[in-house]
Amino acid sequence: MTEISGNGATQRPVDVVIMAAGKGTRMKSKLPKVLHRLAGRALLDHVIDTAAGLQVRHVVVVTGHGAIEVEAHCQGATRATATFDINFVRQEPQLGTGHAVQQALPVLPDDGVVVVLSGDVPLIRQETLRALIEAGGGEQLALLTVTLADPAGYGRIVRRGASVQAIVEHKDASEAQRAITEVYSGIMAVPARRLRAWLARLDNQNAQHEYYLTDIVKMAVADGVPVMAHRIVDALQVAGVNSPLQLAELERAYQLQQARALMEQGVRLADPARFDLRGTLACAQDVEIDVNCVFEGRVSLGEGVKIGANCVIANTQIAAGAVIHPFTHIQGGPQGAQDQVEIGAGALIGPFARLRPGAHLSAEVHIGNFVEVKNSTLARGAKANHLAYLGDTSVGERVNYGAGSITANYDGANKQRTVIEADVHIGSNCVLVAPVTIGAGGTVGGGSTITASTPPGVLTVARGRQVSLAGWQRPAKKE
């Protein structure tokens, strides 16, 4: 709701300043606050990505505490959508939010509108920022405000009649002002030219001896510049993270939002309160997800896929009708198709299975309990049902891979490939020492250690021959 409507969309370029220099004392952590994670991504990444979606000109991140770590993180984070460069400015020491924005001024052209964001307020939405920019109309000061049942600690929006007169910080507020429940969110849109002039006039004559960005409101009023309050009702968008408890609360609230959005698309979550998505999840029709599952990176689930309780699934594509039984860990990597995990239509996985990067399973493959698969391709109908390891292996159609069998793919220095051709039967407790090829239709007897390739269609046994010794005496205890 915009209380006083702006005069139409601004034509000015938008530049963003993200304040991220504060210490985050209450996190009691060595990690800079803005690098703590919400839904698997750093708080600051959420804010930068929201800015990216606005198609802004410059993004300036003000760093201070943990500056080296924060800057390195941002430079490392890949952003497909980036249409801007991220500039960093250092604020040392940290003398308040007004002082923080002062550090960014050299990077901010005069013709723009500056949107000020906080690195620790991760859930602000693009639509809200667009509406805020519009409310300012490119010429005025627009403040994002919210009404809170408990406004303690926040800057209060002080009005005369309908018009905003000032923001008064909690520590500087009178009893009467503390009763005001409309608070400043920490987010504003302001023309750069005016911001520059106002910041030059800031002082620190207040309870905290800080240079308050919020003092520019009084200056705007004194200069006859209208101050717009764009008030929203969704407090989650402007909720800040100051403590581990607030971080966890925001995480749950965000996860519930994601769960609801999926359920609106028809996904059947056993319990929306026991669901975690740290990335993106695309679901076709009639997907069922039991409790306590965690999805990371990019995951897609085909029609009718069922995910049992307590599964962790990262960077994986699962085709229609596949069933993942409980306690399965599927850990595809983020680096493209070779790295991710693929599970074919109608495959049955788990319980207690482990699929690692590059596990590519075709339709109707069965992977049972305590089976680990890494960088291996299993063709249609192949089965490894119990206690086994397949690494760097190509497995043909309909192969049956026995309990307790492993591919010895690592000689201590190099990884080698194993090929198991179609219709092979590997008995229990076999070791296939790579590189080795098991010819199509062949059988490997249980307990064999295979060090050379085998011809197709034959039985190969490589183990000590069984002997039974008659007349052998068990040692007896000496008297």
Q: Which residues bind ligand UD1 (CB under 6 A)?
A: 19-22, 62, 64, 91, 94-97, 99-100, 118-120, 154-155, 167, 169, 183-186, 212-214, 240
Q: Closest CB to ligand UD1 belongs to which residue?
A: 155
Of 169 and 296, the one with the shorter C-beta distance to ligand UD1 is 169
Of 21 and 305, the one with the shorter C-beta distance to ligand UD1 is 21
Tokens at residue 273, please?
A: 């309160």
Q: CB of 140: closest distance to ligand UD1 in angstroms?
A: 19
What amino acid is encoded at 309 in this protein?
A: A
Distances (CA, A) of 352 to 128, 305, 320: 44, 18, 21
Please tell me the distance from the alpha carbon of residue 372 to that of residue 423, in angstroms, as a whole number: 21
Of 117 and 281, the one with the shorter C-beta distance to ligand UD1 is 117
Q: CB of 118: closest distance to ligand UD1 in angstroms?
A: 4
Q: At what angle do helices 192-199 and 97-104 cross, to 10 degrees?
A: 130
* Chain centre to alpha carbon of residue 60: 22
Please tell me the distance from the alpha carbon of residue 300 to that of residue 332, in angstroms, as a whole number: 12
Of 95 and 430, the one with the shorter C-beta distance to ligand UD1 is 95
Helix (H, G, I), strand (E, B) or coil at 422: coil
Is 241:122 a contact under the CB 8 Å cutoff? yes
Q: CB of 122: closest distance to ligand UD1 in angstroms?
A: 11
Q: CB of 28: closest distance to ligand UD1 in angstroms?
A: 16
Is 402:376 a contact under the CB 8 Å cutoff? no
Quick check: is 386 catalytic? yes
Q: CB of 216: closest distance to ligand UD1 in angstroms?
A: 10
Distances (CA, A) of 322 to 294, 343, 382: 18, 7, 14
Of the candidates 73, 170, 386, 425, the residue annotated as catalytic is 386
Please tell me the distance from the alpha carbon of residue 387 to that of residue 383, in angstroms, as a whole number: 12
Q: CB of 207: closest distance to ligand UD1 in angstroms?
A: 11
Of 204 and 394, the one with the shorter C-beta distance to ligand UD1 is 204
Is 144:230 a contact under the CB 8 Å cutoff? yes
Please tell me the distance from the alpha carbon of residue 449 to that of residue 446, in angstroms, as a whole number: 9
Please tell me the distance from the alpha carbon of residue 104 to that of residue 289, in angstroms, as a whole number: 46
Residue 66 gets which letter from DSSP? B
Of 213 and 436, the one with the shorter C-beta distance to ligand UD1 is 213
Please tell me the distance from the alpha carbon of residue 85 to that of residue 350, in angstroms, as a whole number: 45
Active site residues: 386
